[in-house]
Every structure is written in structure tokens, then in C-alpha cells.
Amino acid sequence: MSIRLPTADGGSRLYRPNSAPLPPLKCGPARSRVFYSAAHVVADAAAPSAAGPVIDWESTLAFRRGLWAQGLGVAEAMDTAQRGMGLDWPAAAELIRRSAAEAATVGGRIVCGAGTDQLSSAGPPHSLAAITAAYEEQLAHVEACGSGAVLMASRALAAAARGPEDYLEVYGALIRQSARPVVLHWLGPMFDPALAGYWGHHDPDAATEVFLKIVGDCPQKVDGVKVSLLDAEREVDIRRRLPAGVRCYTGDDYHYPELIAGDGESTGDALLGIFDPIAPIAARAALALDRDDLAGFHELLDPTVPLSRHLFAPPTRFYKTGVVLLAWLAGHQEHFTMLGGLESARPLPHLATAYELADGLGLFPDPERAEDRMRGLLALHGVTS
């Protein structure tokens, strides 16, 4: 049986759904790499819109348990969880608390995002002291919950910084006082336009030097860096120049297989939003690397790149919509509703292609349920399939 899917040119195409999904997988963490999945949150669809961000805790935590069961780590309260795009700091703080407690219960690996999003974006730029204090509040909360921290890029700092010296001051203070090694996150403006000119430079070469200086000033307190620039060559250059023992977690959802595999001189770890929908494949690829089966790794992970590039197509910041769509189609949640109404951020043909690419990879445990849900979504928009 086929389903008719809408196309971007106003037409349609017939697609025959996959009848051979990937079988379930349960395993421990890989030995050769560290893989974190930046995980989405499940909204409470029944909550009144005036209530602000309301999370379906049972479904949200169940999804994280599924990631840990497949050997993946969880990167919590980050961009994929709609941080700054529907998820505010009070909700993020509770998400961190609950997920860290769950991780401790099951022995799962977790890191959590610490930023400055409790500061208002209205009015004049905040002082460096206020920005540092906001970071400190969130860093203290993350560490008190028993998690390592990812120091997220700050819109407030991007707006207030007069130059590289301000980034060196703020990040240096945070790293020196952290209770455990942190991950530094360089999130490019394709993910958040408000972060243009981060590290005090619009020139990426100059920005790279500042970023590496922050790491090099206190390398023993830096677990790793997460590079989300969609620039594979720059990431490889950064990776080669990191101090010994500092990991490079790729955040490049366009080139991740080659960046993880390495170039013969260095290899990469990963902290990726695309690992949310492709977790069953990512987990298998990690195990292939444990067996030194590089060909098997590429055979598994390379075919996922077209799906990832589609989900992260410009405007890249709306990739979460496709991620949550696929979670719904896969049966990880019972609705396609997002915090802040972000389910409407992508057009129907984009969602139809996401369904087709994910189904072709065998990512839906129950293909018939996924097809039925996709048909229902199409019908809701007046498209008969």
C-alpha cells in the first residue's frame, strides 16, 4: 500500500512505506567514543496556553530512558529541548533536576546546559557581572543535581560584550569555579542569529583563536568542546589544536560521520541533535567503532545524512519541528504538539519528506502506526492520501 505525499512544488508523489524496521537494541555505552544525544522535550498538549511551557514529564523521561538503554548519553536542556525557543529557565531547571535524578537511577551518562536565559532580552544590554551571575546560578544548579555542565552560548553576552576580553573574563571565571570539567559550546548563528560575532569577532578565524585560548588557559577544567558551526574543516582544525585530554564533540549535523570517524590523525566524539531521531542507528554505529569496523560504521551512519541535512536545512533553528514529528511517528509520544506552537514552524512538504527519509532508514518501530499518523496529519491539512 502507498501513501501520497505532498511536494514542495505543489504536486505530490506516491511512497511505499518500509516494512522492515530496525529491531530493538539494548546495550551499554560504547568504549571508543562518547555519544550524547541532545534530547527533545514532550509538551503537555492538554495544558492551557496561558500556563507557559508545560512538559509531559512521563513521556519526556521515558524517551531519555530509551536513549540510555541504547548506550547513548543524554545532553539535557539544550537547543534540541527548545531552550530559548519555548523552554524557559524555570522549566529547564526542573527538567535538569528530573533528568539528572533519572540518570543516576539507571546509570546513564548526562550533561546539562547552563546558560543565561533567565535574563530578560528587553532593555539595554546586561552588565558582565549580571551575565556572570546568571551563568553561575545555572552552573551551580546543574552541578548540584549531579550532572556535568555544558556552558551554552549566551545571547546576553553576545549583546553586551565589547570584544574578546569580555568573553575571556566571563568564561575564565566560570571555568575556574566549576566543580567538575565543563563542555564549552560554540553555537553558530545558523542555529541562533542572535549569536553572530560570538567570541568577540565576526571573522571565524579570529573567533577560533579566542575560543582556543579560553580552553588553553585552564585545560584541566575542560572536558571538551562542542562545535556547532556546520563547518567540517574548521572543526577538524580546532580538534587538532585542543590540549591533550580535551574532547571535541561534533555538533555538525551535516558532516558527523566523517568527523566522528576521524582523519587518521584525530577522531571525534559527538553531541548531536540528530541522534534524537536516529538513536537506534547511532548506537549501532558506535558499537561498530568498538569493533574497529570503520566500514560498518559508515555503512550504518552515512545513509542518515540526507535525513539530517533535511531536518537541519535553513532556517536551521527550526530543526526541532522535524525531530518532534519523527518522535511522534515513532510512537515515543502521543501527539505532534510542541512548546510555543513550534510544530507549525515547518511546511507540510518538509514534514512529508522527513517522514519518507526516516521510514526508509527503518526508524519507525511500527511502520503501520507511523503511516496512519502521517495520513492523519495530511488529512488535517486537507491533503488526501
The model's pLDDT over 226-256, given as tens digits with 9 standing for 90+, comes to 999 999 999 999 999 999 999 999 999 999 9
- From the list 194, 235, 231, the residue with the least C-alpha distance to 211 is 235
- What is the distance of C-alpha 289 from the center of its chain? 22
Say which residues have a Cβ less than 8 Å from residue 168's Cβ, sequence separation at least 6.
Answer: 210, 213, 214, 217
- At 31-66, the pLDDT tens digits run 999 999 999 999 999 887 666 789 999 999 999 999
In this prediction, residue 385 carries a pLDDT of 66
Say which residues have a Cβ less than 8 Å from residue 87's Cβ, sequence separation at least 6.
Answer: 41, 53, 77, 81, 95, 339
Partners of 182 in beta bridges: 222
Query: Is the Cβ–Cβ distance between 243 and 216 less than 8 Å?
Result: yes
**Number of Cβ atoms within 10 Å of the Cβ of 379:** 11
The position carrying cell 574497529 is 292
pLDDT confidence band for 76 (50 / 70 / 90): very high
- What per-residue string of b and e applies to 127-159 under the rule 16 or more CB within 10 Å gives b? ebeebbebbbebbebbbebebbbbbbbbbbbbb
C-alpha 356/C-alpha 278 separation (Å) is 14
User: For residue 315, which phi and psi values (nearest 5 degrees)?
Assistant: -70, 115
- At 137-185, the pLDDT tens digits run 999 999 999 999 999 999 999 999 999 999 999 999 999 999 999 999 9
Say which residues have a Cβ less than 8 Å from residue 7's Cβ, sequence separation at least 6.
Answer: 13, 349, 352
* Peptide bond before residue 315 is cis, with ω within 30 degrees of 0: yes
Mean pLDDT of the chain: 96
In this prediction, residue 1 carries a pLDDT of 79
Say which residues have a Cβ less than 8 Å from residue 46's Cβ, sequence separation at least 6.
Answer: none
Query: Is the Cβ–Cβ distance between 150 and 112 less than 8 Å?
Result: yes
Query: Is the Cβ–Cβ distance between 153 and 120 less than 8 Å?
Result: no
Cα–Cα distances (Å) from 225 to 87, 104, 194, 309, 353, in that order, read 23, 24, 20, 22, 32
Question: Collapsing DSSP states into helix, strand and coil, what is residue 138?
Answer: helix
> What is the grid cell recorded at 36?
550524547
C-alpha 44/C-alpha 304 separation (Å) is 29
CA distance from start to end of the chain: 11
What's the count of helices (H) and strands (E) in the chain, helices before strands? 14, 10
Question: Collapsing DSSP states into helix, strand and coil, what is residue 234?
Answer: helix
- 51 or 291, higher pLDDT: 291
Q: In the predicted model, what is the mean pLDDT of residues 112-133? A: 96
C-alpha 371/C-alpha 330 separation (Å) is 10
> What is the grid cell recorded at 122?
528587553
In this prediction, what percent of the chain has a pLDDT beyond 90? 94
